[in-house]
Amino acid sequence: MDTQPHTYTAFAETRLVAAGSIEDVALRTKEWLEEGGASVLVFEDQTGQQIDLDLRGTHDEALARLQAHPWLQRHQAPEEKRQGPGRPKLGVTSREVSLLPRHWDWLNEQSGGASVTLRKLVEEKMKQSQGADRARKARDAASKFMWSMGGNLPDFEEASRAFTRKEYARFDQLIEAWPEDIRAYMRKLVSTAAHAEEEVAGER
């Protein structure tokens, strides 16, 4: 389950109009639109994913619809239900695993048996890859936002190439002429990605 807090940022053309939890961003965006503001794009900070919100009706109605939003439901803990094999109390489910005979022989010799050993191996691998996964997701988020909002901005092609090559200092220079709010948010995303990559490099 994804336990990382998810935050969102809304832009009206080149202006940042809201940032924070999805509830805060939804209500501020709704107010902005009701005041006659330009159309808004909402991005999830952690993924760069653009989120479409249905903000019709009252504040309470708009917030209620958030609970059923397919993208936002991804971050909610699944209900533990007894469905077929497995141990619902632990959230364990049974699936077929194909291994060579020598693999099964080794697993069966381990303390706790094959299932316990497999779970431990998976957990260990997940911990080892956390840093790399975090860095990859941060870069993906920066890339998605850049292509969504920067495509028509000055030096975009050069900036995108610098980003791909991880030449972050040059990237920072190339986006200097971008609108202030987009530039600041872009730098924040790239800084997050660069920091995550440094942490991974330090672990090696």
Residues with Cβ within 8 Å of residue 33, at least 6 apart in sequence: 39, 40, 55
Predicted confidence band at 204 (pLDDT cuts at 50, 70, 90)? Answer: low
**Interatomic CA distance for residues 65 and 129, integer angstroms:** 35
The DSSP result for 115-170, as a single string, is: HHHHHHHHHHHHHHHHHHHHHHHHHHHHHHHHHHHSTTSTTHHHHHHHHHTT-HHH
pLDDT at residue 49 tops 80 = yes
**Cβ proximity of 150 and 43 under 8 Å:** no
How many C-alpha atoms does 96 have within 13 Å on its Cβ side? Answer: 1
pTM of the model: 0.74
Q: What per-residue confidence (pLDDT) applies to 81? A: 40
Distance CA 97, CA 202 (A): 35
- According to DSSP, the residues that pair with 10 across neighbouring strands are 18, 42
Return mean pLDDT, the chain.
86
Give 2's pLDDT tier (boundaries 50, 70, 90): low
Q: 155-177: per-residue pLDDT in tens?
A: 999 999 999 999 999 999 999 99
At residue 89 the predicted structure's pLDDT band, cuts being 50, 70 and 90, is low
- Average pLDDT over every residue of 181-185: 98
| pLDDT band, very low/low/confident/very high, at 198 (cuts 50, 70, 90) | confident
Mean pLDDT of 50-79: 82
Report, as an integer, the average pLDDT of 100-129: 81
Would you list the domain boundaries of the chain? 8-75, 127-204
* pLDDT band, residue 80 (cuts 50/70/90): very low
